[in-house]
Amino acid sequence: MATGKPRSDAYKQRRRWKAIARIEDMMPEQRARYDAWQASHAPGSPGKRQRRRQDRDAAQWLQALLQEPAAPPAPPAPPKIRKPKPLTAERAIRDRIGVFA
């Protein structure tokens, strides 16, 4: 016995039958449009569909990134030339430079 509640099993079954009947009664061009719409709209909430689209786009981006040829390595940097420290009396004595040698 159907309870008449919007979410009862009987109500769901009636809705399913009506949907099937509506689809079967469609003209061929209407059915083609309906099938195309169903193929482009995956089941699930809009948030879940958006997340799947983002994941798919990220995977495509990563795949394209991995397939790109690697950039040639940069040439090695030339060695830095150190400026000599100014000569001080303490350093001259310690390193025995000049007259202190």
CB-based contacts of 8, cutoff 8 Å, min separation 6: 2
Which position has the token pair 């995977």?
59
User: Average pLDDT, stretch 38-67?
Assistant: 90
- Angstrom distance (rounded) from CA 38 to CA 40: 5
pLDDT band at 4 (very low <50, low <70, confident <90, very high): low
Map out the domains of the chain as residue ranges: 1-66
pTM for the whole thing? 0.39
Report which secondary-structure segment, H or E, holds 38. helix 28-40
pLDDT in tens, 58-74: 999 999 999 988 888 88
